[in-house]
Structure 1
Amino acid sequence: MELLSLAGYGFSAEMKQVKEQVKGFETVFRHSKDGLAIFKDGIFVDCNQSMLDLVDLEKKEQFIGQGPVHFSPEYQFDGRRSAEKALELINRCYDEGSLRFEWIHTKSTGVPFWCEVILTKMVLDGEEVLHTNWRDISEKKQLELKLAEQKESFETLFNESMDGLAIFDGQQYIDCNKAFLTMFCFQRKEDVIGIHPKNISPTFQPDGRSSKDAALELIKSCMNKGSVRFEWLHQKSNGTVFWTEVIIIKVTLNGTDCIYAIIRDISEKKELEFQIYERNAELDQSNRDLQHTIQDLKQTQVKLVESEKMASLGSLVAGVSHEINTPVGVGLMGITQFIDETKAIRKSYQQGELDEEMFEAYLNSATELSQIINKNLERTAHLVKSFKQIAVDQTSEEERNINLKDYLDEIIFSLSSVARKSKVSIKVDCDDNYNVVTNPGLLSQLLTNLIINSITHGFSDSTAGNIEIALRELTDKKFSLSYKDDGKGIKKEDLPKIFEPFFTTNRANGGTGLGLNVTYNIVTNALGGTIRCRSEEKKGVEFTIVFNVKERL
């Protein structure tokens, strides 16, 4: 009896323990923050409040009797039908005992959300059922998806970047993008992975250092500083060398310090730098040449004054020298500013501070300065050429294409200083479509002689004067030039003699009497034309010149 009593006590204690376990399980089931449910024979037979909250239902009756597919979209994230995939997972759980997986469920409102699902086979009231645990992982999944998108974006940026990108682990390249392969003429990544930067560089860099030593030094500097920017002469797989701008950055991948390299082809930029350098050198040389030209002009002035035949050009030289000083001065200022800006942009570049906006501003400024310098150099060269055309012998001039209107303006321009000094106004009337092939130096010399003759003789007793020049077309290759001034004119008895050599009415003041004789010979011999003069005292003078050109354009 005592033994039976003890046995009954032991059974009672065991039952009590079981009841407590059941009560504890039920407490956990009811109060868990995860959605819990009991699944049997294809439907849910029980659930906790958290499960109702999870699917936005108010009563158990709305949940019990439904299957997992009722709270799922038609298709899962992998494209499979929810009904088909759910049946497969349920069967697996019955076979394996438990299963964990991710699933897209839907609330009663139809809003989808991500769940982590744990299915556990268990026996309840003597029957096999599945204990279902749903945990909302929407935030976690969104983060995972966002990270996956970012990873995909980074991979896209890496692979599609126009710059060559590569990762170097300190011993060899372990990855690169398509632009890197194209830049170095490789066909496959496998051709790059495993090689060292020295393998895609010439033996020596432009500064004389070996590429191997220079690369090791830069890698060490990057590891210490975190990043380094520099220019590097690389070599393609076909042996072609080219300039690059390289940025190397220290990064950590899988716990290992690596170098992320950004390589940009700057061959065109370097070529532009070389061109700018050469242009600067040319401008410096042009400036020196201009200074020598001015000195030569001054020496020529002395020689011309001493030459009787070209004595009328003495005053012209001084005017040309005066006119040259202005464009030369502007040119000197421009090249000085150009050199200063080049030094500043080079300094910014060497310090790694040069950006696209600064470089574009420099190019715009360089273009503007170059145009200013070029315009003034052309003006100076124009003056020098005009002077030379007058100074040299007429037989040495070459025939070339000219626009008669432009060339007349050029001649007047070269004499503007002399004309201003004497307060003489010169007007030209000529159509701008007279394009011809002729000897322009001859036209320059005859017109210069006439203008200097007017200033020296016609306006010698006047404080000011006017000259009118008109050019008209007679035939396709023949033109008429009318030259008038309102000076003191020529005496009737002197008029027949003005083209004779050495005839002058101003010998006391240095006149040689050769100016109009040279003009006559140019027109009648070199240009195959005629020249006539009409004049009355105190009514000025008029020369009518007919001349031929070689070709009409």
Structure 2
Amino acid sequence: MTNKNEGTASRIYLVVNFVILILITILFTWHATRYYSDWNNGLESFMKNMAVSLSYPAWTYDKRVIEQITAVMIEKDEIISVVVYDDKNNKLVVKEKKLNLTTTDLLFGTKRLDRTYNLIYADTYVGKVIFTYIDRSTRTFLVVSGTGAALLYIVSALLILNIKKNKKLAVMVNELNELNAELEMAFNELEETQNKIINAEKMAALGKLMVNIAHDINTPAGIIYSSLTEQQNRIDSIVKKFQSDQLTEEDFKDCLDTISELNQIMLRNAKRIIELVQSLKRTAMNEMTQTWSEST
């Protein structure tokens, strides 16, 4: 039954992890697509507006105004060069800035891209402008947000795994508490039996035997009591760590090993006590039978 429950819990854990992975992937894809679309539309709008502002100066061949406008264009982070041509494909103005591709750019796959816009004034082609730009910001965003999404999934998976382990730990702690209660009950019953035997004053013939047996029982009983006390202290410590969320896997394993060792000690001494009690019962029965025979 336990194995079946563990198998069901493992399948649920895998399904939940898969659902979280799908949701994070969808969220990342949607966010990345929206970011790239906004960036691309914004850059395209900027370049179109600049191309419109260049139409009249290109028509009048006013290089001074073209120089001023392209100086504004080249200040934009993504744009690395602006080249303006007249209607005869002659260069009017060239503005560019030095591009230093870093190791990060190479790792992220940063690309140089070109975009050309015709300059139209009064429905007449008066030239063209070619923008050269890079997609560094989008690449950086994709890598950073992708890394964030991966970390989010890892944290979610670890959180779910921790919840699963905590539930399993809680079940094991309950089982240990139940076992401890049963052991204490058995010890109490044994102690009660011992007291009854000691208080049986009518069995005078067993007096000497009772003293010896009581001595023999006290030793394993004391060991069992000490083991139970240590076991309870271990359980209390584990429960406190569990409740304060400080419980580690090493602490839990160490607790299990200690409890297992204490259980073995208690089992050996309990078996010794049982053997002593059985011996006492046989002796008492023989004595009672002999007394009854003599009285008849």
- TM-score strictly above 0.5: yes
Deviation string 1:68-91 (CA, Å, 9 cap, x unpaired) is: xxxxxxxxxxxxxxxxxxxxxxxx
What's the counterpart of residue 148 of structure 1? 145
Distance across 2 between alignment mates of 1:393 and 1:130: 122
Is the counterpart of residue 23 in structure 1 residue 64 in structure 2?
Answer: yes
Describe the SS at the equivalent of 2:261. Answer: helix
Match of 2:265 among 339, 359, 372: 372
Instruction: Select 1:295's aligned residue among 181, 184, 195.
Output: 195
**2:184 match:** 284
* Shift in Å, 1:302: 6.4
TM-fit CA distance, 1:379: 2.0
CA gap of 1:293–1:39, structure 2 versus 1, over 3 A, is farther
Cα separation, partners in 2 of 1:338 and 1:161, compared to 1, 3 Å: closer
Unaligned runs of 5+ in 1: 1-14, 57-105, 165-261, 307-313, 397-553
Deviations 1:115-140 (A, max 9, x none): 4655332169x8554311223342x2
Alpha-carbon distance in 1 for matches of 2:269, 2:90: 95
Secondary structure of the residue aligned to 1:371 is helix
SS of the counterpart of 2:83?
strand
Structure 2 distance, partners of 1:369, 1:44, is: 94
Looking at structure 2, the residues matched to 113 and 46 of structure 1 have their Cα atoms a distance apart, in angstroms, of 29
Per-residue CA deviation, residues 383-432 of structure 1 (Å, 9 max, x unaligned), is 222333444349x9xxxxxxxxxxxxxxxxxxxxxxxxxxxxxxxxxxxx
Task: Compare relative contact order (CA 8 Å, sep 6+) and give the higher one, 1 or 2.
Answer: 2
- C-alpha distance in structure 1 between counterparts of 2:115 and 2:198, whole Å: 104
Partner of 1:382: 275
Change (3 A) 1:156 1:281: closer
Identical aligned pairs, as a percentage?
Answer: 18
Aligned to 2:96: 50
Residue of structure 1 equivalent to 2:10: none
Kept in 1, the 8 Å contact 2:83–2:131? The answer is yes
* Runs of 5+ consecutive residues of structure 2 not aligned to the other structure: 1-56, 290-296
Asked which structure has the greater CA Rg, the reply is: 1
| Correspondences of 1:227-246 after superposition (within 5 Å) | none
Deviation at 1:154, TM superposition (A): 5.0
**Closer/same/farther in 2, CA of residues 40 and 368 from structure 1, 3 Å limit:** farther
Structure 1 match to 2:81: 35
- SS of the counterpart of 1:163? helix
Q: CA shift at 1:377, angstroms?
A: 1.7
Q: Is the 8 A contact 2:85 2:93 kept in 1?
A: no
The CA distance in 2 between the partners of 1:264 and 1:44, in whole Å, is: 71
In structure 2, the CA distance between the partners of 1:40 and 1:329, relative to structure 1 (3 Å rule), is: farther
CA distance in 1, matches of 2:156, 2:139: 25
> Which structure: greater strand fraction?
1
Distance 1:333 1:373 in 2: 9
Instruction: Return the letter of the residue paired with 1:337.
Output: E
**Is residue 327 of structure 1 aligned with residue 227 of structure 2?**
no
Identify the residue that residue 134 of structure 1 maps to in structure 2. 132
Q: What amino acid is the match of 2:195?
A: Q
- Any residues of structure 2 matched to 1:180-195 within 5 Å, and which? none
Q: CA deviation at 1:355?
A: 4.0
Distance 1:46 1:158, change over 3 A: farther
- 1:297/1:321 contact within 8 Å kept: no
Residue 122 in structure 1 maps to residue 82 in structure 2 = no
CA contact (8 A) 1:324 1:383 kept: yes
Partner in structure 2 of residue 507 of structure 1: none
* Contact kept in structure 1, 2:63 and 2:93, CA below 8 Å: no
Q: Secondary structure at the match of 2:203?
A: helix
Which residue identity lines up with residue 25 of structure 1 in the other structure?
I
